[in-house]
Amino acid sequence: MSQDKTMFYGASPEMFERAKVLRNHMTDSEQLLWNKLKDNQLNGIKFRRQHPISQFIVDFYCHQKKLVVELDGGTHQKNAQQERDKGRQFMLEELGLTVIRFKNEDIKKDISIVISRILEYCSI
């Protein structure tokens, strides 16, 4: 597989393998959102799921817009995980990416609001 450094930011082959496993074990919330993002359904914008970027695997990524969409489950409410998330977000932003986060409950409660917010970021 040819790695496009500008899309994967030097992700290792191990990250690609791990991403493949994660794609086969998506959470319910990830699957719900993916059903709205896949196949360029969102105004023709291409998103990738469980996408390797540097040393991370992001939930969803739009290379065209340099946009990372992350979904946070219950473990993200813990202080230690929140600190890791802040560090991860900082490093992704250092690569010139925009990171937006949603809680799993947001997806399940009203996915249309989540889609609207993603579209707002895509139009910036």
The enclosing domain of 35 has a CATH number of: 3.40.960.10
d(C-alpha 67, C-alpha 73), whole Å: 20
Please give the residue that has the higher pLDDT: either 74 or 18: 18
Number of domains in the chain: 1
pLDDT of residue 2: 45
The answer to whether the beta carbons of residues 15 and 57 sit under 8 Å apart is yes
Element (H, E) at 51: strand 48-53
Instruction: Provide the Cα torsion 112, 114, 120, 124; round to 10°.
Output: -150
Which pTM does this prediction carry?
0.89
Which of 124, 70, 122, 75 lies closest to 100 in space, CA to CA?
Answer: 70
* 102 Cβ contact list (under 8 Å, min separation 6): 33, 69, 70, 71, 72, 114, 117
Range of the domain at 102: 5-122
pLDDT in tens, 79-111: 767 788 899 999 999 999 999 999 999 999 999
Please give the residue that has the higher pLDDT: either 8 or 76: 8
d(C-alpha 42, C-alpha 36), whole Å: 7
